[in-house]
Amino acid sequence: MHPDVDALLAAAHVVRLPLATRFRGILEREAVLLRGPNGWGEFAPFLEYDDAESAAWLAAAVEAAWGERTPVLRDTIPVNATLPTVPRERIAEVLARFGEVRTVKIKVADAGETLADDVARVREVRRILGAEGRIRVDANGGWNVDQAERAAHELAGFDLEYLEQPCATIDELAELRGRLHDWQLPIAADESVRKSDDPLAVARAGAADLLVVKVPPLGGVARALRIVAEAGLPAVVSSAIDTSVGLAMGARLAAALPELDYDCGLGTAALLAADVTGEPLLPVDGAIPVRDVDPDPEMLRAHAAPPDRVAWWHARIRRCAALLP
């Protein structure tokens, strides 16, 4: 049985963690950690998300802390490094935080950046990784079809693994995939899955070759597994700058997938300057373990959000809880 809202608030710890580098325009990450009878869950929808979208994140946190555990098939998850739109001279420094990884996801199409800036970052990452490294780029829907096709042409020489959400809409993704059909450059859908009323629409439209799935916006591990199974496409499990509690939720999904063909975007604890545990889920030899994470009480206190932010998150939990089944 799901807890009532008073039980949720009694179990809630609101934290504010500094980032090691700016990401999504922020330098701090706020999250609510919920302790239930089966462990910990994380509720951390970005601040601009409305209550309807955020309710799924709360459902995922409740599942993690109060729900049944999904059986797992593996005990470690290979992960990629995630490179924000940092200046070229900082790339090696940021990637070093992830340790030895074979795959890097590079953010592109950011506001204020040019295609030339993106190409320069990709070129530098290819130089650092060498010919055997894997590179994928994530535009977060920032290009139209023509811009995405041009970018694919400009980046063709760097042997990309795939383009993640190059365009915003499913129709655009389908058109671009048709244009790139002979390029053998796969298209991955992220926002078209996690921010859609129908996460299977992109698969039915033949608009993507693989799915990027995240536990919180899909409402939990069980629902994410059903979506991947019904879509019939390979999946990459990713994160949203989570604490190690949230990353443990993602690792459990990745561990439960029947097939895991791609390195997952679950190494992002490396982008945090502080975490909620003394044993964070940082990549080691390109992988993270599948295990529970118990926050350290002293670290919860050290990184507690100020009272006004605690009140803000409590109000958000009340609103989102009212939207759960």
Q: How many helices (H) and strands (E) does the chain have?
A: 12, 12
Burial letters 268-289, b for 16+ CB under 10 A, else e? bbbbbebbbbeebbbbeebbbe
Exactly one of 13, 29, 105, 107 is catalytic; name it: 107
Alpha carbon separation from 53 to 105, 164, 212, 218, 272 (Å, rounded): 25, 21, 17, 9, 25
Dihedral pair phi/psi, residue 37, rounded to 5°? -65, -20
Q: Which two tokens stand for residue 196?
A: 């859609």
Exactly one of 126, 214, 252, 303 is catalytic; name it: 214
Q: Which residues are annotated as a binding site for Mg(2+)?
A: 138, 164, 190
> Is 107 annotated in the active site?
yes
Beta strands at 235-237 and 210-213: parallel, antiparallel or unpaired: parallel
Please report how the helices 51-66 and 307-321 are oriented relative to each other, as an axis angle in degrees rounded to 10: 90
Q: Calculate ∠ Cα 213-217-219, nearest 5°.
A: 100
Burial letters 80-92, b for 16+ CB under 10 A, else e? bbbbbbbeeeebe
The DSSP letter of residue 109 is: S
- As a whole number of angstroms, the distance between CA 282 and CA 272 comes to 10
Q: How far is CA 143 from the centre of its chain?
A: 20
- As a whole number of angstroms, the distance between CA 30 and CA 25 comes to 14
So which residues are the catalytic ones? 107, 214
